[in-house]
Structures are given as structure tokens and as C-alpha cells.
Amino acid sequence: MLGRTHLAIGILCALLVLPFISVPSKLLFVILVAFGALLPDVDHEKSKINRLCPVTKIIPVFFKHRGFFHSLFVPALIYGVFWYFNEQFVGLSLVFGYLTHLVSDGMTRMGVNFLHPLSNWQMRGPFETGTFAETLLFVGVIAGIVVKLVF
Ligand SMILES: [Zn+2]
């Protein structure tokens, strides 16, 4: 899926869970989730995250797209690092965004292997990246964000 779709899905999911959780800052939570939702595509050289933050452009040289960085091991590592530094809020927010990305990529035909490289199982769905169907999904998610912010 495109970066903008991941960003929108991340923001919508953050807004949907906000009423049920207690966070130090709602705005910071949404920003961290949105950033986390872009993170997995550091393994793609032309991704939004690699255009925003060229430092990570080295990652696609060593890791294939939708390989290790689209597994559950990376968010577990991210959480572990932030837990170690006693920043659970930042860690959990980033991981939540990260997981929204993995699940939404799992709705595409290309699919996602959550246990790469330990398993070959792929979660797949009907969407094809960059198609009209994804644009419709994007528009629907934006509409959801607007509804959530207004009501
Ligand atoms: Zn991805």
C-alpha cells in the first residue's frame, strides 16, 4: 500500500482507540502512531519514510521489501528498546502504528509474512497497491478521520 494510505489508516486507528486508553498526550499519540505506520517501508527505497528520512535508505540494500521489516520481530524489538529506556508510551504508540501498517499490507494481494524468515505463511487480501480500489480505501479512511474529528 502507498505511504499516504498507511498514514491515513494509522491516524484513523489512533483516533478509534483514543477513547479507550489513557495517554499523556493525545496529539503526541496520534503523531507517534502515524510515524509508526510509515516505519515498516524503510525496506523500500522509494517509500515515503525513506524520502522523509534518507538515513534509512541503506536498509533496502540489505533487506528485501516486505521481508524482515514487515515481520512482528521488528515491532517487538522497537518495543523492547523503548521499554529498556522506560519510554513505554512512545514504544507502544510506535508499535501500534507499525502493526496497523502490517495488517493493512496484509490486505493486499502481495501479502505479508508476519514471521519472516521463520515461516512462509502470508496474510493476503484483495487490494492491489496503487490501484483505484486503494484510492477508494484511502478516501474512505480520510472520510472516517473527518467523521471522527467532527463528531
Ligand atoms: Zn509495507
Q: pLDDT (tens digit, 9 = 90+) per residue, 57-94?
A: 899 999 999 999 999 999 999 999 999 999 999 999 99
Specify the number of domains making up the chain. Answer: 1
pLDDT exceeds 90 at position 53: no
Average pLDDT of the chain is 96
Cα separation of 99 and 107, whole Å? 13
Q: How many A from CA of 40 to the centre of ligand 1?
A: 6
Residue 66 corresponds to which cell in the numbers above? Answer: 516486505
Residue 151 Cα to ligand 1 midpoint, Å, equals 31
What are the distances in angstroms from CA 147 to CA 14, 30, 103, 143? 14, 16, 23, 6
Q: How far is the CA of 100 from the centre of ligand 1 (A)?
A: 10
By the 8 A CB rule, do 134 and 127 touch? yes
Segments forming the whole domain that contains residue 70: 3-150
- Alpha carbon of 9 to ligand 1 centroid (Å): 12
pLDDT of residue 107: 95
What's this model's pTM, rounded to 2 decimal places? Answer: 0.95
Count Cβ atoms below 10 Å from residue 110 Cβ, excluding itself.
16
